[in-house]
């Protein structure tokens, strides 16, 4: 598990509440991933439609390279390190 070098300022809430909020935030992340999947499907369809209408085009409709870089960073963030 990754531990961060810098500690957050402590608040007046209990550790139990703090920890529950941290755990609950994963539900929000998962919901956003579900929404993102829908956007990616729509973007793929729009890109396909554009290229069919413009077969000689090299235009980039959605930056899949940038998206893949972001996803790579997220995998790095959430991937458990093998036996630290």
Question: What's the pLDDT tens digit per position in 24-49?
Answer: 999 999 999 999 999 999 999 999 99
Count of domains for the chain: 1
5 is a domain residue: no
Q: What is the rounded end-to-end Cα distance, in angstroms, of the chain?
A: 8
Percentage of the chain surpassing pLDDT 70?
Answer: 82
33 is a domain residue: yes
56 is a domain residue: yes
What is residue 80's predicted lDDT score, i.e. its pLDDT? 75
Q: How far is CA 64 from CA 21, 44, 68, in A?
A: 33, 10, 6
Q: Give the range of the structural domain holding residue 34, as residue numbers without chain letter.
A: 15-78
* Cβ–Cβ under 8 Å, residues 74 and 81: no
Q: How far is CA 77 from CA 37, 39, 55, 73, in A?
A: 19, 22, 38, 6
* Cβ–Cβ under 8 Å, residues 61 and 47: yes
61 is a domain residue: yes
């Amino acid at each position: 598990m990754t531990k961060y070098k810098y500690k957050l300022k402590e608040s007046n809430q209990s550790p139990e509440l703090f920890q529950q909020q941290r755990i609950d935030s994963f539900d929000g992340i998962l919901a956003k991933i579900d929404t993102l999947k829908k956007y990616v499907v729509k973007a793929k369809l729009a890109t396909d439609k554009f290229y069919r209408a413009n077969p000689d085009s090299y235009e980039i409709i959605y930056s899949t390279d940038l998206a893949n870089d972001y996803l790579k960073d997220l995998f790095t963030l959430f991937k458990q390190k093998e036996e630290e």
